[in-house]
Amino acid sequence: MSLEKFATYNEIKNQTEAWNQALELTKTAQLPKADNYEQVIFTGCGSTYYLSLAAAALYQELTGRPARAVPGGELLLNPGTVVSNQKTLLIAISRSGTTTETVKAVEAFTANKNGDVLVISNYEELLSQSADISIVIPKGQEESVAQTGSFASMYVAAAGLSARMAGRNDLIESMSSLSEVGERVIQKYEPYAQQLGENLAADRFYFLGSGIRYGLACEVNLKMKEMTLTHSEPFHFLEFRHGPMSMITKNTIVVGLVSGSNLKYEKAVLNEMEELGGKVVSVGEKDADIVFDSAVPEHIQGVLYLPVLQLMAFYRSLAKGYNPDRPKNLEAVVKINL
């Protein structure tokens, strides 16, 4: 079977080109300073909500300013639980730029004069056209339903804007090496991703990540659900010990997105899950099963966690006889009548 006939495979394998474009666009965008706002709200739906979780955590860590993530549907239906009278920047993220809940939520936010709007997208559509500031990354456009390269490109843009708004130009410079590292990691660990994905004895996956990595754990968990219809859940590392670890069996794979700063605690959790009989896979800069060895600051490593785990889901989809380009019951763009 020719893997290149699948759009998903090509979009995962070639995604670093979109990372570069995202970074260049972020460098030249006319961005405000973090001090201009009392809070930042990141919003999206599905994958881009999980991107918002990761981006909000990173933004707050870098800038020291309050940031939170909410689904587009919640911002639309329950704005009183999200929007306050504080000076706010809304960062709306959408691959297509036409997702109904996100578009409607941004329209209401703007109509109520709640603050400024910045959009990150892969298409020049309604959402980006109505924004005060937009970052549109065409090289992240996709044919497949499940977001892979598009997600990664928009995450790079979100990480870059967070660094720039924090005045961390040193991080922007360090990000220039991400694509080279990403290509190396993809090439080196694709066989390992295939081995893990084709292990059909595994019947459940748990993805663990904390801090700026929790949203990324949610996203790779979603890829496993969408493409392979496998039981999969994300958790914060220490939270997994409070009940969910009771689900560990010999047919469980626990994937840990480990950090350098909290590695001692995260490895302790993974070791415990291994002792309970689960198969443990760690991903990180050093001392892991999938190693970046990137020499870039931990703040901006996030995108490197994605490609190998996306490939794992891709290969599992094939092993189960599914079409990874067209997951069951899903469409590339979610539109509803509101």
Residue 329 clears pLDDT 90, i.e. is over it? no
pLDDT at position 166 is 97
Q: Label residue 278 exposed, middle or buried (CB < 10 Å: 0-12, 13-18, 19+).
A: buried
Structural domains of the chain ordered from first start: 3-175 (3.40.50.10490), 178-319 (3.40.50.10490)
Please state the rounded mean pLDDT for residues 40-64.
98
pLDDT at position 206 is 98
Residue 333 clears pLDDT 60, i.e. is over it? no
> Per residue in 248-265, pLDDT tens?
999 999 999 999 999 999
pLDDT at position 335 is 61
Torsion sign (Cα): 24, 36, 62, 75: negative
Please state the rounded mean pLDDT for residues 41-67.
98
**133-136 and 88-94 beta bridge pairing:** unpaired
Residue 332 clears pLDDT 60, i.e. is over it? no
> Per residue in 204-224, pLDDT tens?
999 999 999 999 999 999 999
Cβ contact 133:166 at 8 Å = no
Beta-carbon-side half-sphere exposure of residue 58 (alpha carbons within 13 Å): 32
Question: Any bridge partners for residue 39, and if so which?
Answer: 88
- Enter the tokens of residue 57: 């955590």
Please state the rounded mean pLDDT for residues 2-18.
97
Please state the rounded mean pLDDT for residues 75-90.
93
pLDDT at position 308 is 98
Amino acid at 122: N
Q: What is the pTM of this model?
A: 0.96
